[in-house]
Structure 1
Amino acid sequence: MEIDLRGWLLLGSNVLLYWLLQMLNDTLGTHGVYLSLSALYLLLPITCLRLGWALALVFVTGMLIDAPLPVNFGFHSLLFALVTAFLYNMRHSIGRAGLGQLILVALGVNAFLIVAQSLLLAGPLMGNGLYWLRIGSDLLFSSLALPLIGWWFLSWERWLLVICGCDTHAPENA
């Protein structure tokens, strides 16, 4: 397995998005809003990298997200890896999609990830209506913010790959 520059560029972009979202969530937290834009961490690694490198990248990104949270070791990493493995079969279709279509895919994947995380972490809160109200409001605000932030972030990643001379499509023999 040879080292691919695209993986490092996409990892740096994921770290940048994570830091920016943490700052935004620290500000919005005083108003009871939390943005979760996890789908943005997954889309371009799925389309640009071989499966092994894509899984490694989303695994490291998941560990970064898990670090400050009171969740089991590798919770987001395993969830991201499962979604990546599922979507990897559609990488050629996703790779040919325009930016607007990528945003629509990201909205669907993000909604799935928010609901899956909520169900897996609910525990004793499963029957609490306020818990589900909070999850619903977070899903709503995340869905409203994703097109704006996603448009910028996906454009940034594509621009970064092109400016560094990397191809934005997966290798043919992958």
Structure 2
Amino acid sequence: MRRTLVLIASQLLLWTIVTLVNDALSSWQVYVFAGALYVSFAALSQPPGPGLLTALIAGLICDANAPVTFGLHLLLFAAAHLILFHVRERVPREDNVSVIAVVLLTNLALFLMFSIVQIHGSPFPSAHWPRLVVDLLCSQVLLALITPWFFALQAGGLALAQVRRDDAL
């Protein structure tokens, strides 16, 4: 249970930071999406039960504040977690570059899925794509910069809580 609580606490911190960054960037009409960070660490390094539970709770946390259909984050985070969990043996998890690449690809997939699901109700969907591309580029740059820090934060939190790690990252 400590494992899940530590991971949820770090995700609450991430949610707070992303919310503050988005608030600061709102004057430039830029939105940062960091969905992949909510699922990647748990999917790549934790047992399936606590990892999936963490992804589900993170989805609920993100759903609570987002102007999207409730449950969309939950569903997509769970799907991303399950996919990453099944391919984690093929990812060299000791290498920061490969972990960042996995996070960026996961974030790209989640961003596109969210965009496709939400844009269908717009009267002029093609008018939104330039802004979405800018948001995606900003999100990817931010993720490339903070992924090593966030993974180290989660690993450090697990070490402080004296949780035995089943897989080394």
TM-score, normalising length from structure 1?
0.87
Per mean C-alpha deviation after superposition, the further-off stretch among 129-138 and 46-55 is: 46-55
Deviation at 1:90, TM superposition (A): 1.9
Structure 2 portions without partners, runs of 5+: none
* Counterparts in 2 of 1:135 and 1:151: CA distance versus 1, 3 Å: same
* Counterparts in 2 of 1:134 and 1:107: CA distance versus 1, 3 Å: same
RMSD (Å), alpha carbons: 2.0
Structure 1 portions without partners, runs of 5+: none
Deviation at 1:8, TM superposition (A): 1.2
Q: Partner amino acid for 1:11?
A: I
Deviation at 1:168, TM superposition (A): 3.4
Question: How many percent of aligned residue pairs carry the same amino acid?
Answer: 29
* Counterparts in 2 of 1:126 and 1:60: CA distance versus 1, 3 Å: farther
Deviation at 1:156, TM superposition (A): 1.2
- Provide the rounded CA distance (Å) in 2 between the counterparts of 1:143 and 1:126: 28
What residue number does 2:87 align with?
90
**Deviations along 1:63-119, whole A, 9 cap, x unmatched?**
111112232221100111111111111233447332222111101100111011000
**Deviations along 1:100-141, whole A, 9 cap, x unmatched?**
221111011001110110001112337533311111010011
Paired residues in the alignment total 168
Contact (CA 8 Å) 1:99, 1:154: kept in 2 or not?
Answer: no
**Deviations along 1:44-78, whole A, 9 cap, x unmatched?**
11133332322211111111111122322211001
TM-score, normalising length from structure 2?
0.89
Matched, 1:33 2:30: yes
Secondary structure at the counterpart of residue 125 of structure 1 = coil
Q: Partner amino acid for 2:66?
A: L
